[in-house]
A and B are shown apart, each in its own frame.
Chain A
Amino acid sequence: MMRRPSLVFSLLAFGYAFLYAPIVSLIVYSFNESRLVTVWAGFSTKWYTSLLQNEQLLGAAWVSLRIAVMNATLAVVLGTLAGTALVRFGRFRGRSALALMVGAPLVMPDVILGLASLLLFVAMEQLIGWPAGRGMTTITIAHVTFSMAYVAVIVQSRLVRLDPSLEEAAMDLGARPWKVFFVITLPLIAPALAAGWLLAFTLSLDDLVIASFTSGPGASTLPMVVYSSVRLGVSPEINALASIMVGLVTLGIVIAGVIMQRRAADAR
Protein backbone atom coordinates (compact mmCIF):
# COMPACT_ATOMS: atom_id res chain seq x y z
CA MET A 1 0.00 0.00 0.00
CA MET A 2 2.64 2.44 1.10
CA ARG A 3 4.80 2.98 -1.96
CA ARG A 4 8.17 3.17 -0.25
CA PRO A 5 8.14 1.10 2.88
CA SER A 6 11.89 0.67 2.45
CA LEU A 7 12.42 4.36 3.29
CA VAL A 8 10.55 4.02 6.57
CA PHE A 9 12.42 0.82 7.37
CA SER A 10 15.85 2.23 6.65
CA LEU A 11 15.03 5.16 8.92
CA LEU A 12 13.90 2.66 11.54
CA ALA A 13 17.20 0.82 11.25
CA PHE A 14 19.07 4.11 11.51
CA GLY A 15 17.16 4.96 14.69
CA TYR A 16 18.09 1.66 16.31
CA ALA A 17 21.73 2.00 15.24
CA PHE A 18 21.79 5.45 16.85
CA LEU A 19 20.27 4.09 20.06
CA TYR A 20 22.59 1.12 20.35
CA ALA A 21 25.97 2.18 18.92
CA PRO A 22 27.08 3.92 22.15
CA ILE A 23 25.93 1.01 24.32
CA VAL A 24 27.73 -1.52 22.14
CA SER A 25 30.92 0.56 22.22
CA LEU A 26 30.71 0.73 26.02
CA ILE A 27 30.50 -3.05 26.29
CA VAL A 28 33.26 -3.72 23.74
CA TYR A 29 35.72 -1.41 25.46
CA SER A 30 34.96 -2.81 28.90
CA PHE A 31 36.93 -5.87 27.73
CA ASN A 32 39.88 -3.75 26.60
CA GLU A 33 43.28 -4.42 28.07
CA SER A 34 44.41 -0.79 27.84
CA ARG A 35 43.47 1.93 30.32
CA LEU A 36 42.99 4.25 27.36
CA VAL A 37 39.37 3.39 26.76
CA THR A 38 39.45 3.94 23.02
CA VAL A 39 42.67 2.22 21.98
CA TRP A 40 42.20 -1.51 21.57
CA ALA A 41 45.03 -3.47 23.19
CA GLY A 42 43.63 -6.96 23.47
CA PHE A 43 40.92 -8.82 25.33
CA SER A 44 40.90 -8.72 29.10
CA THR A 45 38.46 -9.01 31.97
CA LYS A 46 40.71 -7.23 34.41
CA TRP A 47 38.42 -4.19 34.72
CA TYR A 48 35.66 -6.42 36.02
CA THR A 49 38.04 -7.78 38.65
CA SER A 50 39.14 -4.32 39.68
CA LEU A 51 35.52 -3.18 39.76
CA LEU A 52 34.77 -5.92 42.28
CA GLN A 53 37.60 -4.59 44.45
CA ASN A 54 36.50 -0.95 44.25
CA GLU A 55 35.02 -0.51 47.70
CA GLN A 56 33.81 3.02 47.06
CA LEU A 57 31.74 1.98 44.03
CA LEU A 58 30.41 -1.14 45.75
CA GLY A 59 29.46 0.79 48.88
CA ALA A 60 27.66 3.39 46.79
CA ALA A 61 25.87 0.64 44.86
CA TRP A 62 24.63 -0.81 48.15
CA VAL A 63 23.36 2.61 49.30
CA SER A 64 21.61 3.09 45.96
CA LEU A 65 20.01 -0.34 46.03
CA ARG A 66 18.58 0.17 49.51
CA ILE A 67 17.19 3.58 48.57
CA ALA A 68 15.76 2.19 45.33
CA VAL A 69 13.94 -0.69 47.06
CA MET A 70 12.46 1.56 49.75
CA ASN A 71 11.52 4.13 47.15
CA ALA A 72 9.86 1.65 44.80
CA THR A 73 7.80 0.08 47.57
CA LEU A 74 6.57 3.39 48.98
CA ALA A 75 5.98 4.81 45.50
CA VAL A 76 3.82 1.83 44.52
CA VAL A 77 1.62 2.23 47.61
CA LEU A 78 1.20 6.00 47.24
CA GLY A 79 1.00 5.90 43.44
CA THR A 80 -1.70 3.23 43.52
CA LEU A 81 -3.77 5.30 45.95
CA ALA A 82 -3.35 8.37 43.76
CA GLY A 83 -4.13 6.52 40.53
CA THR A 84 -7.20 4.85 42.02
CA ALA A 85 -8.49 8.15 43.38
CA LEU A 86 -8.03 9.86 40.02
CA VAL A 87 -9.76 7.17 37.94
CA ARG A 88 -12.45 5.74 40.17
CA PHE A 89 -13.69 8.61 42.32
CA GLY A 90 -15.24 10.92 39.76
CA ARG A 91 -15.05 14.52 40.88
CA PHE A 92 -13.93 15.18 44.42
CA ARG A 93 -12.46 18.13 46.23
CA GLY A 94 -8.72 18.29 45.58
CA ARG A 95 -8.95 16.21 42.41
CA SER A 96 -7.46 18.84 40.12
CA ALA A 97 -4.71 19.55 42.67
CA LEU A 98 -3.89 15.85 42.81
CA ALA A 99 -3.98 15.51 39.02
CA LEU A 100 -1.62 18.46 38.63
CA MET A 101 0.79 17.22 41.28
CA VAL A 102 0.83 13.78 39.65
CA GLY A 103 1.41 15.21 36.17
CA ALA A 104 3.95 17.92 36.94
CA PRO A 105 6.82 15.75 38.30
CA LEU A 106 6.80 13.79 35.02
CA VAL A 107 8.20 16.73 33.10
CA MET A 108 9.65 18.98 35.81
CA PRO A 109 13.43 19.45 35.37
CA ASP A 110 15.49 17.54 37.94
CA VAL A 111 17.35 20.62 39.14
CA ILE A 112 14.09 22.21 40.28
CA LEU A 113 12.82 19.06 41.98
CA GLY A 114 16.14 18.62 43.76
CA LEU A 115 16.44 22.23 44.86
CA ALA A 116 12.81 22.32 46.02
CA SER A 117 13.18 19.15 48.10
CA LEU A 118 16.42 20.28 49.72
CA LEU A 119 15.01 23.67 50.70
CA LEU A 120 11.99 21.96 52.23
CA PHE A 121 14.20 19.64 54.29
CA VAL A 122 16.31 22.57 55.49
CA ALA A 123 13.20 24.55 56.47
CA MET A 124 11.67 21.52 58.22
CA GLU A 125 14.83 20.86 60.17
CA GLN A 126 14.79 24.46 61.37
CA LEU A 127 11.13 24.35 62.36
CA ILE A 128 10.57 20.88 63.81
CA GLY A 129 14.05 19.37 63.98
CA TRP A 130 13.22 16.61 61.50
CA PRO A 131 14.81 15.34 59.31
CA ALA A 132 18.00 15.84 61.31
CA GLY A 133 20.67 16.28 58.68
CA ARG A 134 20.44 14.80 55.22
CA GLY A 135 21.18 11.32 53.96
CA MET A 136 19.39 8.22 52.79
CA THR A 137 16.05 9.22 54.34
CA THR A 138 15.88 12.57 52.59
CA ILE A 139 16.99 11.07 49.27
CA THR A 140 14.30 8.41 49.59
CA ILE A 141 11.56 10.95 50.35
CA ALA A 142 12.58 13.09 47.37
CA HIS A 143 12.66 10.03 45.11
CA VAL A 144 9.25 8.78 46.26
CA THR A 145 7.76 12.19 45.52
CA PHE A 146 8.57 12.04 41.82
CA SER A 147 8.46 8.29 41.22
CA MET A 148 4.99 7.87 42.75
CA ALA A 149 3.79 10.12 39.95
CA TYR A 150 5.05 7.60 37.38
CA VAL A 151 3.38 4.74 39.26
CA ALA A 152 0.13 6.71 39.46
CA VAL A 153 0.17 7.23 35.67
CA ILE A 154 0.73 3.51 35.00
CA VAL A 155 -2.02 2.51 37.46
CA GLN A 156 -4.31 5.13 35.96
CA SER A 157 -3.92 3.86 32.42
CA ARG A 158 -4.50 0.28 33.59
CA LEU A 159 -7.60 1.17 35.63
CA VAL A 160 -9.12 3.17 32.78
CA ARG A 161 -9.11 0.07 30.60
CA LEU A 162 -10.44 -2.15 33.39
CA ASP A 163 -14.09 -3.16 33.14
CA PRO A 164 -15.76 -1.72 36.29
CA SER A 165 -18.59 -4.29 36.18
CA LEU A 166 -16.56 -6.84 38.18
CA GLU A 167 -16.06 -4.36 41.00
CA GLU A 168 -19.69 -3.28 40.80
CA ALA A 169 -20.85 -6.89 41.01
CA ALA A 170 -18.78 -7.47 44.15
CA MET A 171 -20.13 -4.26 45.64
CA ASP A 172 -23.70 -5.28 44.80
CA LEU A 173 -23.12 -8.56 46.60
CA GLY A 174 -22.20 -6.61 49.70
CA ALA A 175 -18.41 -6.60 49.69
CA ARG A 176 -16.97 -3.55 51.38
CA PRO A 177 -14.94 -1.13 49.22
CA TRP A 178 -11.62 -2.12 50.79
CA LYS A 179 -12.38 -5.78 50.29
CA VAL A 180 -13.39 -5.16 46.69
CA PHE A 181 -10.11 -3.36 46.15
CA PHE A 182 -7.93 -6.09 47.64
CA VAL A 183 -9.83 -9.09 46.27
CA ILE A 184 -10.93 -7.87 42.84
CA THR A 185 -9.07 -4.74 41.75
CA LEU A 186 -5.58 -5.46 43.06
CA PRO A 187 -5.11 -8.84 41.32
CA LEU A 188 -6.40 -7.31 38.08
CA ILE A 189 -3.93 -4.41 38.16
CA ALA A 190 -1.02 -6.48 39.55
CA PRO A 191 0.98 -6.34 36.28
CA ALA A 192 0.72 -2.53 36.35
CA LEU A 193 1.94 -2.51 39.94
CA ALA A 194 4.90 -4.72 39.04
CA ALA A 195 5.77 -2.43 36.12
CA GLY A 196 5.39 0.59 38.40
CA TRP A 197 7.66 -0.92 41.04
CA LEU A 198 10.37 -1.67 38.49
CA LEU A 199 10.10 1.79 36.95
CA ALA A 200 10.31 3.49 40.36
CA PHE A 201 13.27 1.28 41.24
CA THR A 202 15.09 2.21 38.04
CA LEU A 203 14.31 5.92 38.31
CA SER A 204 15.78 5.98 41.80
CA LEU A 205 18.84 3.96 40.85
CA ASP A 206 19.42 6.28 37.90
CA ASP A 207 19.01 9.68 39.53
CA LEU A 208 22.03 11.92 39.94
CA VAL A 209 20.67 15.45 40.27
CA ILE A 210 17.96 15.05 42.92
CA ALA A 211 20.19 12.79 45.03
CA SER A 212 23.05 15.32 44.85
CA PHE A 213 20.79 18.05 46.21
CA THR A 214 19.19 16.01 48.97
CA SER A 215 22.16 13.92 50.08
CA GLY A 216 24.41 14.59 53.00
CA PRO A 217 27.87 13.50 54.07
CA GLY A 218 28.24 9.72 54.11
CA ALA A 219 25.36 8.99 51.78
CA SER A 220 26.80 8.90 48.27
CA THR A 221 24.68 7.04 45.75
CA LEU A 222 26.09 5.10 42.81
CA PRO A 223 25.33 7.82 40.22
CA MET A 224 27.04 10.40 42.45
CA VAL A 225 30.24 8.33 42.62
CA VAL A 226 30.09 7.51 38.90
CA TYR A 227 29.58 11.19 38.11
CA SER A 228 32.61 12.34 40.09
CA SER A 229 34.79 9.66 38.52
CA VAL A 230 33.50 10.49 35.01
CA ARG A 231 34.32 14.15 35.57
CA LEU A 232 37.92 13.11 36.18
CA GLY A 233 38.01 11.27 32.86
CA VAL A 234 36.89 8.02 31.29
CA SER A 235 37.70 4.90 33.25
CA PRO A 236 37.38 1.31 32.05
CA GLU A 237 35.90 0.33 35.41
CA ILE A 238 32.88 2.48 34.63
CA ASN A 239 32.60 0.65 31.30
CA ALA A 240 32.58 -2.66 33.16
CA LEU A 241 29.92 -1.36 35.54
CA ALA A 242 27.84 -0.11 32.61
CA SER A 243 28.10 -3.47 30.85
CA ILE A 244 26.89 -5.30 33.94
CA MET A 245 23.93 -2.91 34.23
CA VAL A 246 23.03 -3.29 30.57
CA GLY A 247 23.25 -7.07 30.95
CA LEU A 248 20.94 -7.11 33.97
CA VAL A 249 18.41 -4.79 32.33
CA THR A 250 18.42 -6.82 29.11
CA LEU A 251 17.83 -10.00 31.09
CA GLY A 252 14.95 -8.37 32.98
CA ILE A 253 13.34 -7.03 29.81
CA VAL A 254 13.68 -10.35 27.98
CA ILE A 255 12.01 -12.15 30.89
CA ALA A 256 9.25 -9.52 31.04
CA GLY A 257 8.81 -9.81 27.26
CA VAL A 258 8.50 -13.60 27.37
CA ILE A 259 5.94 -13.38 30.17
CA MET A 260 3.95 -10.76 28.25
CA GLN A 261 3.96 -12.83 25.04
CA ARG A 262 2.87 -15.93 26.98
CA ARG A 263 0.02 -13.97 28.54
CA ALA A 264 -1.02 -12.64 25.16
CA ALA A 265 -0.93 -16.19 23.78
CA ASP A 266 -3.03 -17.44 26.71
CA ALA A 267 -5.56 -14.72 26.15
CA ARG A 268 -6.04 -15.76 22.53
Chain B
Amino acid sequence: MPSPSSSKPAKPLHALRERLRLGRGTVAVVPLLWLGLFFGLPFLIIARISLSEVVIGLPPYSDLLSWAEDGMLQLRLNFANFMLLWQDSLYLDAFINSLRVAATATLICLLIGYPMALGITRVRESLRVPLLMLVILPFWTSFLIRIYAWIGILKGNGLINNLLLGLGLIDEPLALLHTDFAVYLGIVYAYLPFMVLPLYATLSRMDHSLLEAAADLGCRPLSAFWRVTVPLSLPGIVAGSLLVFVPAVGEFVVPDLLGGPDSLMIGKVLWTEFFNNRDWPVATAVAVALLALLVVPVLLFERFREKEQDA
Protein backbone atom coordinates (compact mmCIF):
# COMPACT_ATOMS: atom_id res chain seq x y z
CA MET B 1 0.00 0.00 0.00
CA PRO B 2 1.30 3.46 -0.79
CA SER B 3 1.49 5.89 2.10
CA PRO B 4 -1.99 7.31 2.48
CA SER B 5 -2.02 10.94 1.57
CA SER B 6 -4.85 13.29 2.51
CA SER B 7 -8.13 12.19 1.03
CA LYS B 8 -9.70 15.42 -0.07
CA PRO B 9 -12.65 14.97 -2.39
CA ALA B 10 -10.98 17.02 -5.10
CA LYS B 11 -8.25 14.48 -5.62
CA PRO B 12 -6.94 14.16 -9.16
CA LEU B 13 -8.61 11.20 -10.77
CA HIS B 14 -5.44 9.53 -12.02
CA ALA B 15 -3.90 9.46 -8.53
CA LEU B 16 -7.03 7.81 -7.19
CA ARG B 17 -6.93 5.27 -9.97
CA GLU B 18 -3.28 4.55 -9.30
CA ARG B 19 -3.92 3.89 -5.62
CA LEU B 20 -6.86 1.69 -6.46
CA ARG B 21 -4.71 -0.32 -8.81
CA LEU B 22 -2.12 -0.99 -6.12
CA GLY B 23 -4.74 -1.94 -3.56
CA ARG B 24 -6.29 -4.23 -6.08
CA GLY B 25 -2.94 -5.86 -6.69
CA THR B 26 -2.66 -7.03 -3.09
CA VAL B 27 -6.27 -8.27 -3.01
CA ALA B 28 -5.84 -10.45 -6.08
CA VAL B 29 -2.32 -11.64 -5.30
CA VAL B 30 -3.08 -13.44 -2.02
CA PRO B 31 -5.67 -15.90 -3.38
CA LEU B 32 -3.65 -16.26 -6.58
CA LEU B 33 -0.55 -17.25 -4.62
CA TRP B 34 -2.47 -19.65 -2.38
CA LEU B 35 -4.24 -21.37 -5.26
CA GLY B 36 -1.12 -21.35 -7.40
CA LEU B 37 0.93 -23.01 -4.67
CA PHE B 38 -1.64 -25.47 -3.32
CA PHE B 39 -3.76 -26.14 -6.38
CA GLY B 40 -1.75 -25.32 -9.53
CA LEU B 41 1.74 -26.50 -8.59
CA PRO B 42 0.65 -29.99 -7.42
CA PHE B 43 -0.43 -30.82 -10.96
CA LEU B 44 3.11 -30.28 -12.20
CA ILE B 45 4.32 -32.61 -9.44
CA ILE B 46 1.74 -35.19 -10.48
CA ALA B 47 2.94 -34.99 -14.08
CA ARG B 48 6.56 -35.35 -12.94
CA ILE B 49 5.97 -38.38 -10.72
CA SER B 50 3.91 -40.11 -13.40
CA LEU B 51 7.09 -40.19 -15.50
CA SER B 52 9.28 -41.79 -12.84
CA GLU B 53 9.85 -45.36 -11.73
CA VAL B 54 8.67 -46.88 -8.52
CA VAL B 55 11.50 -47.46 -6.04
CA ILE B 56 11.61 -48.75 -2.51
CA GLY B 57 12.19 -45.83 -0.20
CA LEU B 58 10.69 -42.55 0.80
CA PRO B 59 9.34 -41.00 -1.35
CA PRO B 60 8.78 -44.15 -3.38
CA TYR B 61 9.66 -42.84 -6.84
CA SER B 62 12.87 -42.27 -8.77
CA ASP B 63 14.51 -38.95 -9.68
CA LEU B 64 14.15 -37.84 -13.28
CA LEU B 65 17.53 -36.13 -13.35
CA SER B 66 20.67 -37.96 -12.30
CA TRP B 67 24.44 -37.65 -12.76
CA ALA B 68 26.02 -40.42 -14.76
CA GLU B 69 29.57 -41.58 -14.01
CA ASP B 70 31.12 -39.63 -16.89
CA GLY B 71 29.72 -36.34 -15.60
CA MET B 72 26.69 -36.34 -17.90
CA LEU B 73 23.40 -35.10 -16.56
CA GLN B 74 20.80 -37.67 -17.47
CA LEU B 75 17.11 -37.12 -17.87
CA ARG B 76 15.22 -40.38 -17.59
CA LEU B 77 11.55 -40.27 -18.48
CA ASN B 78 9.64 -43.44 -17.81
CA PHE B 79 6.55 -43.87 -19.97
CA ALA B 80 5.98 -47.41 -18.77
CA ASN B 81 3.25 -46.26 -16.37
CA PHE B 82 1.17 -44.86 -19.20
CA MET B 83 1.84 -47.91 -21.37
CA LEU B 84 0.60 -50.05 -18.49
CA LEU B 85 -2.64 -48.05 -18.39
CA TRP B 86 -3.12 -48.66 -22.08
CA GLN B 87 -2.15 -52.34 -22.12
CA ASP B 88 -3.59 -53.70 -18.90
CA SER B 89 -7.30 -54.03 -19.53
CA LEU B 90 -8.02 -53.35 -15.84
CA TYR B 91 -7.35 -49.63 -16.24
CA LEU B 92 -9.06 -49.20 -19.59
CA ASP B 93 -12.13 -51.08 -18.34
CA ALA B 94 -12.21 -48.96 -15.21
CA PHE B 95 -12.07 -45.76 -17.27
CA ILE B 96 -14.81 -46.88 -19.64
CA ASN B 97 -16.96 -48.13 -16.78
CA SER B 98 -16.53 -44.84 -14.88
CA LEU B 99 -17.61 -42.83 -17.90
CA ARG B 100 -20.60 -45.09 -18.48
CA VAL B 101 -21.72 -45.00 -14.84
CA ALA B 102 -21.24 -41.22 -14.59
CA ALA B 103 -23.11 -40.56 -17.85
CA THR B 104 -26.02 -42.84 -16.94
CA ALA B 105 -26.25 -41.42 -13.42
CA THR B 106 -26.25 -37.88 -14.85
CA LEU B 107 -29.13 -38.77 -17.16
CA ILE B 108 -31.13 -40.33 -14.32
CA CYS B 109 -30.45 -37.26 -12.14
CA LEU B 110 -31.76 -35.08 -14.96
CA LEU B 111 -34.90 -37.22 -15.34
CA ILE B 112 -35.65 -37.02 -11.60
CA GLY B 113 -34.34 -33.50 -11.02
CA TYR B 114 -36.08 -31.70 -13.88
CA PRO B 115 -39.65 -32.40 -12.75
CA MET B 116 -38.61 -31.52 -9.20
CA ALA B 117 -37.16 -28.16 -10.22
CA LEU B 118 -40.17 -27.48 -12.45
CA GLY B 119 -42.54 -28.48 -9.66
CA ILE B 120 -40.89 -26.09 -7.22
CA THR B 121 -41.34 -23.18 -9.65
CA ARG B 122 -45.05 -24.01 -9.91
CA VAL B 123 -45.99 -24.00 -6.22
CA ARG B 124 -47.15 -20.99 -4.19
CA GLU B 125 -44.35 -18.51 -3.69
CA SER B 126 -44.31 -18.93 0.10
CA LEU B 127 -43.65 -22.66 -0.33
CA ARG B 128 -40.69 -22.31 -2.69
CA VAL B 129 -38.02 -21.44 -0.13
CA PRO B 130 -38.97 -24.29 2.24
CA LEU B 131 -39.05 -26.76 -0.67
CA LEU B 132 -35.63 -25.59 -1.86
CA MET B 133 -34.33 -25.91 1.69
CA LEU B 134 -35.57 -29.49 1.69
CA VAL B 135 -33.51 -30.19 -1.44
CA ILE B 136 -30.42 -28.63 0.13
CA LEU B 137 -30.75 -30.26 3.55
CA PRO B 138 -29.47 -33.73 2.58
CA PHE B 139 -26.50 -32.05 0.91
CA TRP B 140 -25.55 -30.50 4.27
CA THR B 141 -25.65 -33.84 6.07
CA SER B 142 -22.67 -36.13 5.73
CA PHE B 143 -22.12 -37.66 2.30
CA LEU B 144 -20.61 -40.76 3.89
CA ILE B 145 -23.59 -41.26 6.18
CA ARG B 146 -26.09 -40.86 3.35
CA ILE B 147 -24.29 -43.61 1.44
CA TYR B 148 -24.12 -45.69 4.63
CA ALA B 149 -27.91 -45.41 4.93
CA TRP B 150 -28.28 -47.30 1.66
CA ILE B 151 -26.26 -50.23 3.01
CA GLY B 152 -28.92 -50.77 5.66
CA ILE B 153 -31.65 -50.55 3.04
CA LEU B 154 -30.09 -52.71 0.33
CA LYS B 155 -28.26 -55.49 2.15
CA GLY B 156 -29.40 -59.11 2.28
CA ASN B 157 -31.37 -58.73 5.50
CA GLY B 158 -31.99 -55.06 4.84
CA LEU B 159 -35.14 -53.01 4.63
CA ILE B 160 -36.14 -53.75 1.02
CA ASN B 161 -35.50 -57.48 1.27
CA ASN B 162 -37.33 -57.74 4.58
CA LEU B 163 -40.27 -55.87 3.11
CA LEU B 164 -40.45 -57.99 -0.02
CA LEU B 165 -40.03 -61.22 1.96
CA GLY B 166 -42.70 -60.10 4.40
CA LEU B 167 -45.11 -59.38 1.58
CA GLY B 168 -44.35 -62.79 0.11
CA LEU B 169 -43.23 -61.31 -3.21
CA ILE B 170 -39.89 -63.11 -3.12
CA ASP B 171 -38.75 -66.35 -1.51
CA GLU B 172 -35.13 -65.50 -0.92
CA PRO B 173 -33.32 -62.18 -0.51
CA LEU B 174 -32.34 -60.34 -3.68
CA ALA B 175 -28.69 -59.42 -4.13
CA LEU B 176 -28.97 -55.62 -4.18
CA LEU B 177 -25.89 -54.46 -2.29
CA HIS B 178 -22.48 -54.75 -3.99
CA THR B 179 -23.98 -54.52 -7.46
CA ASP B 180 -23.81 -51.98 -10.28
CA PHE B 181 -27.41 -51.10 -9.48
CA ALA B 182 -26.37 -50.00 -5.98
CA VAL B 183 -23.59 -47.84 -7.46
CA TYR B 184 -26.02 -46.06 -9.80
CA LEU B 185 -28.48 -45.59 -6.96
CA GLY B 186 -25.81 -44.18 -4.65
CA ILE B 187 -24.43 -41.71 -7.19
CA VAL B 188 -27.88 -40.51 -8.26
CA TYR B 189 -28.88 -40.12 -4.63
CA ALA B 190 -25.72 -38.27 -3.61
CA TYR B 191 -25.63 -35.86 -6.55
CA LEU B 192 -29.33 -35.14 -7.13
CA PRO B 193 -29.27 -31.78 -5.25
CA PHE B 194 -26.49 -30.57 -7.58
CA MET B 195 -28.83 -31.14 -10.51
CA VAL B 196 -31.97 -29.61 -8.98
CA LEU B 197 -30.43 -26.32 -7.82
CA PRO B 198 -29.04 -25.00 -11.14
CA LEU B 199 -32.18 -26.22 -12.93
CA TYR B 200 -34.37 -24.34 -10.48
CA ALA B 201 -32.20 -21.23 -10.90
CA THR B 202 -32.80 -21.08 -14.67
CA LEU B 203 -36.43 -22.25 -14.57
CA SER B 204 -37.40 -19.67 -11.96
CA ARG B 205 -36.03 -16.87 -14.14
CA MET B 206 -38.14 -17.97 -17.10
CA ASP B 207 -40.75 -15.53 -18.34
CA HIS B 208 -44.14 -17.19 -18.03
CA SER B 209 -45.74 -15.01 -20.66
CA LEU B 210 -43.75 -16.98 -23.23
CA LEU B 211 -45.74 -20.10 -22.36
CA GLU B 212 -48.98 -18.11 -22.51
CA ALA B 213 -47.99 -16.78 -25.92
CA ALA B 214 -47.27 -20.31 -27.10
CA ALA B 215 -50.67 -21.46 -25.80
CA ASP B 216 -52.40 -18.51 -27.47
CA LEU B 217 -50.82 -19.47 -30.74
CA GLY B 218 -52.28 -22.97 -30.39
CA CYS B 219 -49.31 -24.82 -28.98
CA ARG B 220 -50.22 -27.80 -26.80
CA PRO B 221 -48.71 -27.85 -23.29
CA LEU B 222 -46.42 -30.79 -24.00
CA SER B 223 -45.11 -29.29 -27.19
CA ALA B 224 -44.73 -25.88 -25.48
CA PHE B 225 -42.69 -27.66 -22.85
CA TRP B 226 -40.33 -29.12 -25.47
CA ARG B 227 -40.16 -26.01 -27.62
CA VAL B 228 -40.10 -23.26 -24.99
CA THR B 229 -39.29 -24.49 -21.49
CA VAL B 230 -36.56 -27.00 -22.32
CA PRO B 231 -34.54 -24.75 -24.68
CA LEU B 232 -34.74 -21.86 -22.21
CA SER B 233 -33.54 -24.03 -19.36
CA LEU B 234 -30.57 -25.35 -21.36
CA PRO B 235 -28.02 -23.40 -19.26
CA GLY B 236 -29.34 -25.09 -16.13
CA ILE B 237 -29.29 -28.49 -17.81
CA VAL B 238 -25.66 -28.08 -18.87
CA ALA B 239 -24.50 -26.71 -15.51
CA GLY B 240 -26.33 -29.37 -13.51
CA SER B 241 -25.10 -32.18 -15.76
CA LEU B 242 -21.48 -31.08 -15.44
CA LEU B 243 -21.80 -30.70 -11.67
CA VAL B 244 -22.96 -34.32 -11.51
CA PHE B 245 -20.91 -35.90 -14.29
CA VAL B 246 -17.39 -34.65 -13.56
CA PRO B 247 -17.17 -35.56 -9.85
CA ALA B 248 -19.06 -38.81 -10.48
CA VAL B 249 -16.37 -40.03 -12.94
CA GLY B 250 -13.79 -39.95 -10.15
CA GLU B 251 -16.12 -41.08 -7.37
CA PHE B 252 -14.53 -43.31 -4.74
CA VAL B 253 -16.85 -43.66 -1.73
CA VAL B 254 -19.91 -44.94 -3.61
CA PRO B 255 -18.25 -47.74 -5.61
CA ASP B 256 -16.19 -48.68 -2.59
CA LEU B 257 -19.08 -49.02 -0.14
CA LEU B 258 -21.98 -49.99 -2.42
CA GLY B 259 -20.22 -51.55 -5.42
CA GLY B 260 -19.13 -55.14 -5.82
CA PRO B 261 -15.74 -56.49 -6.84
CA ASP B 262 -16.76 -56.13 -10.50
CA SER B 263 -17.88 -52.52 -10.38
CA LEU B 264 -14.50 -51.02 -11.13
CA MET B 265 -14.32 -47.27 -11.17
CA ILE B 266 -11.22 -45.25 -11.81
CA GLY B 267 -11.34 -43.33 -8.53
CA LYS B 268 -11.24 -46.60 -6.65
CA VAL B 269 -8.40 -47.91 -8.84
CA LEU B 270 -6.37 -44.78 -8.08
CA TRP B 271 -7.04 -45.21 -4.35
CA THR B 272 -6.00 -48.87 -4.44
CA GLU B 273 -2.81 -48.17 -6.40
CA PHE B 274 -1.86 -45.49 -3.91
CA PHE B 275 -2.88 -46.90 -0.54
CA ASN B 276 -2.77 -50.67 -1.06
CA ASN B 277 -0.08 -51.16 -3.72
CA ARG B 278 1.94 -48.07 -2.69
CA ASP B 279 2.72 -47.52 -6.37
CA TRP B 280 2.83 -43.73 -6.56
CA PRO B 281 3.99 -43.51 -10.20
CA VAL B 282 1.08 -45.61 -11.47
CA ALA B 283 -1.39 -43.77 -9.20
CA THR B 284 -0.22 -40.42 -10.61
CA ALA B 285 -0.38 -41.76 -14.16
CA VAL B 286 -4.01 -42.71 -13.50
CA ALA B 287 -4.57 -39.17 -12.19
CA VAL B 288 -2.99 -37.64 -15.32
CA ALA B 289 -5.17 -39.78 -17.58
CA LEU B 290 -8.27 -38.88 -15.54
CA LEU B 291 -7.39 -35.19 -15.74
CA ALA B 292 -6.89 -35.43 -19.50
CA LEU B 293 -10.33 -36.99 -19.72
CA LEU B 294 -11.95 -34.31 -17.56
CA VAL B 295 -10.16 -31.24 -18.89
CA VAL B 296 -12.76 -30.60 -21.59
CA PRO B 297 -15.82 -30.81 -19.28
CA VAL B 298 -14.03 -28.78 -16.57
CA LEU B 299 -13.13 -25.98 -19.03
CA LEU B 300 -16.66 -26.13 -20.43
CA PHE B 301 -18.04 -25.73 -16.91
CA GLU B 302 -15.70 -22.79 -16.27
CA ARG B 303 -16.65 -21.00 -19.51
CA PHE B 304 -20.25 -21.54 -18.63
CA ARG B 305 -19.90 -20.16 -15.12
CA GLU B 306 -18.16 -17.05 -16.44
CA LYS B 307 -20.98 -16.46 -18.91
CA GLU B 308 -23.58 -16.89 -16.16
CA GLN B 309 -21.75 -14.36 -13.97
CA ASP B 310 -21.76 -11.80 -16.74
CA ALA B 311 -25.42 -12.35 -17.59
Contact = CB atoms under 8 A, between A and B. Distances in A.
The finding on whether chains A and B are genuine partners in a shared complex, rather than unrelated, reads: yes
A242 B142 contact: yes
Interface of A is mostly: helix
A65 interface: no
A153 B144 CA distance: 25
Given A176-B23, A177-B19, A242-B142, 7 more contacts: A18-B189, A19-B192, A100-B299, A116-B45, A119-B42, A120-B37, A234-B155
Contacts of A174: 7-9, 11
Contact of A249 (B140, B212, B309): B140
B140 A202 contact: yes
Interface string B96-124: 00000000000000001101101110100
A15 B46 CA distance: 40
Contacts of B146: 22-23
Nearest to A82: B31
Interface stretch (B67-75, B76-84, B86-94, B287-295): B287-295
A35 B148 CA distance: 16
Closest 8 CB pairs of A and B: A109-B250, A12-B119, A116-B42, A11-B115, A22-B149, A82-B31, A85-B28, A103-B302
B144 A226 contact: yes
Interface in A80-113: 81-82, 84-87, 89, 92, 94-95, 97-112
Interface in B205-256: 211-212, 215, 221, 242-243, 246-247, 249-253
B301 interface: yes
Contacts of B20: 177
Contacts of B212: 1
A56 interface: no
A119 B284 contact: yes
A23 B250 contact: no
Given A2-B122, A223-B144, A226-B144, A120 B38 contact: yes
Residue of B140, B215, B297 most packed against chain A (CB within 10 A): B140
A144 to B, nearest CB: 8
Interface string A19-32: 11111011001000
Residue of A14, A21, A111, A123 most packed against chain B (CB within 10 A): A111
A193 interface: no
A186 B23 CA distance: 16
Contacts of A190: none
Contacts of B192: 15, 18-19
Contacts of B275: 212
A157 to B, nearest CB: 7
B243 to A, nearest CB: 6
A172 interface: yes
A38 B156 CA distance: 10
A212 B192 CA distance: 25
Nearest to B140: A249
B302 A99 contact: yes
Nearest to B8: A174
8 contacts: A7-B115, A19-B192, A22-B189, A110-B252, A171-B16, A177-B19, A202-B140, A242-B148
A182 interface: no
B261 interface: no
Interface string B260-284: 0000000100110011000010011
B298 interface: yes
A72 B46 CA distance: 27
Contacts of B305: 103, 153
Contacts of B144: 206, 208, 223, 226-227, 230
Contact of B7 (A19, A84, A107, A176): A176
B27 A81 contact: yes
